[in-house]
Amino acid sequence: MLAASVPALALDRYVVDTEHTFSSFEYKHWGLSMQRGRFDKNTGSIEIDTDNKSGSLQISIDADSINTGSDTFNKVLRSDGFFDVQKYPAILFQSSKLIFNEDKLVQVEGDLTIRDVKRPVKVDITHFECRFMILYLKRACGANGYTKILRSDYGVGRYAPFVSDEVTLSFSVEAIKE
């Protein structure tokens, strides 16, 4: 009888589509221009119950997949002076708090881990949509969001303040229902 009074959670599980998921970043370079780069390899999963407005997600970013458009700069960012990809191969975002405004997902709160430094972040969601995708013959969800962090909080603050300490991280995620 007690079980009948507790609403059932209908969590749907989605696997990140690695072909359509990218994490990117932008920062001011010596006060001259806004520079951008991205991480090309992202994996993870999302569990979501849109009826009960709950869920969780986990995104793992391959730090070695950094792509700035410059092989020389990519090597510098992979080195121990920045991401140290040999020692810290993954950047991880984990969340168990999805915030909705009515039926619209507006924010995801969780922990971002870079170089084994874990800090709480809030990712503002600018777009969220789920629907049946004829391409996969399955339901899929997609989202775009961003957060701002300080590089120095994660041990990658080299050259600050000349190269901005503040970095905007953006996420474009698509995931396919299992």
Convert the pLDDT of each residue in 1-18 to its tens digit: 444 444 556 899 999 999
Residue 73 has pLDDT above 90, yes or no: yes
Confidence (pLDDT) at 5: 47
Class at the top of the CATH hierarchy for domain 12-177: mainly beta
CA separation for the pair 14, 17 (Å, rounded): 9
Beta bridge partners of 91: 61
Phi, psi (5° rounding) for residue 65?
-90, 15
Closest listed residue to residue 66, CA positions, set 57, 54, 75: 75
Please tell me what DSSP assigns to residue 65. G
Q: Give the pLDDT confidence of 166-178 residue by residue, as tens digits.
A: 999 999 999 999 9
Beta bridge partners of 27: 35
Q: Give the pLDDT confidence of 132-155 residue by residue, as tens digits.
A: 999 889 999 999 999 999 999 999
- DSSP letters of 99-144? EEETTEEEEEEEEEEETTEEEEEEEEEEEEEEEEETTTTEEEEEEE
Cα–Cα separations (whole angstroms), residue 45 to 38, 72, 115, 126, 158: 20, 32, 21, 19, 32
pTM of structure:
0.90
Q: Give the pLDDT confidence of 17-71 residue by residue, as tens digits.
A: 999 999 999 999 988 999 999 999 999 999 999 899 999 999 999 999 999 999 9
